[in-house]
Amino acid sequence: MPLTPVLPPMALPTGLEAATMEHALKMKVRSLKVQVCKLKTKLREVNQLKITRKACVNKESMIKHLKKLLPAKAYTFAMETTKPVDKICAIITDEISLKQAVHYNEPADRIEGFEDFGRGQRTMPLHSCGRNSSDITSGPIPHTRLQSLLLEAIRELKAAGMECLVFVCDQGSGNCSMLTRLGVTKEKAYFEVDAVRVFCLWDPPHLIKNIRNNWRSSGFMLDGDRIFWAILEELYTYVSKQDSRLCCCLTKKHVHLPPFASMRVRFAAQVLSHSVAVGIKTLAQVKQLTGQAQRNYMAAAKFCENFDGIFNCVEGWQHNIVCLKMIWCVLRERHQVPYLLTNRLNQDCLENAYSAIRGM
């Protein structure tokens, strides 16, 4: 007769012990879920890194992978829910001086630093075999290349559902040549891309700096009187020796511009101010000037004092005024916009970004 083992009776857990065991099991399950989420996140990052490395081989494959990551329905929904007035945008361009260097981008597995305009368009040097020379040069982007990049950017924005209404740039030689090729004039302050008007504005702070720079380099004629930069230098020499400053804002940096000081709009605006005009008049009286010298000093004082009133004579300001009126008419008639944020129509956003880059 087979023997059946008899197990000792098990003691049933009490209510408190059962609750403790249940809580411990819940905590273990929660910990396992957290670990699973972390593993999924790491796996997603690894897959994303693989996709990025593959996508960076060329622009077309990168766009395909980005479309997979961002569903088309989500983008379509975002465009449908966005108000038409919020789709209006401006393209703002500026330049920054770059150091000659190359950098290896490990995630993309490529070397960066060569001139690259996209779509595989790179500038390669041509070295002569018969003499020690090279045909590659450094400098700003050619205006023909700027034009192609601008038109491509406007079309890409249109394809994405945005409307580019304004283009803002400074009065660099490349920008001036590009806008001339596009047929932009003071009377016709726009060009057309696929039957869509894009209005062009000069960066207003750059216009102020250009007036100061022209005064410093060549001077002006006002009603037959010459306005020389030497008048401002004499004013600074006089006020710097006085105990009570006649022009508190006028410093050596305003008159003898150190490197990069010519890029500061504040220096230009403070030179073309009412306090400087009063200082020039006072200096003319102290020196007891007469004749043509006195008239030149008074003309310089009038130029600074009435700068806000006479800027219409400058071609760049005339262009901006005409263009701003056109932009306002389009926004008011097409989108019923009650106001225009003119502080968005300048290069301040790019200047702030470049300042942060230089500070790194």
Model pLDDT, residue 139: 62
| Mean of pLDDT values over 208-219 | 85
pLDDT at 308: 52
Cβ-Cβ contacts under 8 Å for 214 (sequence gap 6 or more): 220
* Extents of the domains making up the chain: 84-98+139-202+314-358, 207-312
Q: What is the mean pLDDT of residues 25-34?
A: 81
Report which of residues 26 and 61 the model is more confident about: 26
Give the separation between CA 238 and CA 80, rounded to whole angstroms.
65
Span of 227-231, 249-253, 257-261 with lowest mean pLDDT: 257-261
* pLDDT value for 182: 92
Percent of the chain with pLDDT over 90: 4
**What average pLDDT score do residues 12-37 get?**
75
Better-scored residue on pLDDT, 306 or 161: 161
Confidence of residue 143 (pLDDT cuts 50, 70, 90): confident
Query: What is the value of pTM for the model shown?
Result: 0.58
Cβ–Cβ < 8 Å for 276, 251: no
Residue type, 172: G
Contact 348, 97 (CB under 8 A): no
The whole-number average pLDDT for the span 103-128 is 63
Using DSSP's 3-state secondary structure scheme, residue 39 falls into helix
Higher per-residue confidence, 234 vs 249 = 234
Please provide the average confidence, as pLDDT, over all residues in the chain: 76
Cα 123 to chain center, whole Å? 25
Measured CA to CA, the distance from residue 182 to residue 140 in angstroms comes to 19
Question: Looking at residues 44-50, what average pLDDT do you find?
Answer: 65
Residue 134 has pLDDT above 70, yes or no: no
Q: What's the pLDDT band for 198 if we cut at 50, 70, 90?
A: very high
pLDDT of 355 above 60: yes
Q: In what order do the strands lie in the sheet with 190-193?
A: 88-92, 163-169, 196-202, 190-193
Measured torsion, CA atoms of residues 21, 23, 24, 25, in degrees rounded to the nearest 10 = 90
Q: How confident is the model at residue 349 (pLDDT cuts 50, 70, 90)?
A: confident
> Does residue 94 carry a pLDDT above 70?
yes
Q: 253 pLDDT band (50/70/90 cuts)?
A: confident
| Residue showing tokens 């790179």 | 122
